[in-house]
Structures are given as C-alpha cells and as structure tokens.
Homo-oligomer: A and B are copies of this chain.
Amino acid sequence: MAAHRKGILSMNHRSDDFMELMKDTVTLLRKRLLVPVDYEIIFATSATECWEMIAQSVVEKQSIHIHNGAFGEKWFEYTKKLKPDAQSIRFDPNSELDPEQLRFDAGDLICLTQNETSNGTQVDQQIVRAIGKQNPEQLIAVDATSSMAGIALDFGSADLWFASVQKCFGMPAGLAVMICSPRAVARIEKVGERSHYNSLPYVREMMGKYQTNCNPNLLVIYLLIRVLRKLDQL
C-alpha cells in the first residue's frame, strides 16, 4: 500500500513531513472546493465533534436551529446541553423556507442543515444567503455533511461550514472539515473559550502551524489528499 511505503502510517504528527502533508492537503482542499482565500480550514474527527466545537467556542449565548429532520434536530439537542438558551425552529420537510419570515432579534448564531440526510431535503443556497442578509448581526453555520465536495458551495453566504468526509468525499469516516469565515474567526477569538482540547482558539493555533490538537487520523488525511488530487474542481 502506497501509504505504508511512504511511511505515512508512522509519521509523527509534529514532524516536518506531517506539516507538509497537512499544508498540501489544506491547499488542495481550498483549490478544489473553491474556498475563499480569507476563510480558514480546520480538521476535526466527525461532524458531531464540529457541532460540539461550535457550541463550545462560537455560540456566545444563544443559537437558533432551523431544521426539518433528524440531523438538524440532533445538532440542536447537542448544543442545548452546552448552551441552554438554544432555540429550535422546525419547518415542514415538504415546504421551502421563507427567509422573509426568518428575521431574528435575538440569538448570535443561526444553524442550518444544508442537506438533511435523514429525509433528502435541501436548503437552497440562495435561501442560506437570504437568511444571512436578513440577519446581519448573527453568524450563519451550515452543516454540509451530505453536500460538501458533492456540489459547489457558496461559502461566502455563511460563516461556518462543516462536513465529515464519508459522504460526498467518498471516503471512510473519521475526519471532518470545518471552514470558517473571517467573521467566524473574530467571534472565536472574542468568545476565547479554551477549556477543552478541541477549543477552537487552540485548534486554530495548531492548524496555523499545519498541526493538529491531538494525534490525527493520519491515514484518512493521506487518503483525502489522494482523493483531492483525482477530483476535478467543482
């Protein structure tokens, strides 16, 4: 196996070789997914961990979860355990969201599930953008687990995007990609939450050095760069 021949499997995650692999992977990911140059790319272990990291390190007081299925609801429930003011807005899976009716006076983060795996419905990207325009005070976070790398995402329309790699990347599970806008980065630094090994200020610092906050899923990172090399630009 190529990974074994190249010594990937036993690479030290503080070594120059690892940092080079990470840098190449992030660079290629940015290129293939058309991630804006001022958005940061972070790795986590699963989309579930992304929910947790956002609840810990991005939500100031209240997140608003607009959802119509099992994954969106779970995101709300997981967040509520950490930030009890989290609010849930359920909509009918058979109808489209009307951004006009989604203007919020409260809350500091609006959470959307772009593609709800449990029922196959999508939130159109123009709707994501319109919800953002209606709510300039809040950040917008999008669970894109079943769409990132499958369709071209309009990253500029939201502040936090994340996906685990076992759906459209076509890879084995155990790695997630999170993409943060400059506004999201500013919020992370403002909240300044540093209690956990996966607190975002710390994870950002490590990613800035092309390192990770703990021993990463090396093999899947290596597979990711190989998949990206074969993938056409979206």
Contact = CB atoms under 8 A, between A and B. Distances in A.
Interface of A: 1, 3, 8-10, 13, 45-49, 51-52, 78, 81-82, 164, 166, 170-174, 194-198, 213-220, 223
Nearest to A170: B10
Given A81-B196, A194-B81, A195-B81, A219 B216 contact: no
B174 A49 contact: no
A13 B13 CA distance: 27
Kindly report how many copies of this chain are found in the complex they form together.
2
B197 A52 contact: yes
Q: Which of A1, A78, A220 has the most CB of B within 10 A?
A: A220
B46 A174 contact: no
Contacts of A3: 172
A48 B213 contact: yes
Interface of A is mostly: loop
A219 B218 contact: no
A51 B197 CA distance: 9
Contacts of A46: 214-215
Contacts of A214: 45-49
Contact of A9 (B1, B81, B171): B171
9 contacts: A10-B166, A10-B172, A46-B215, A48-B215, A82-B195, A173-B215, A173-B217, A174-B174, A174-B219
Given A164-B215, A217-B217, A45 B45 contact: yes
A79 to B, nearest CB: 10
B51 A220 contact: no
A51 B82 CA distance: 19
Nearest to A196: B52
B171 A215 contact: no
Q: Which of A10, A214, A215 has the most CB of B within 10 A?
A: A215
Contact of A172 (B81, B170, B218): B218
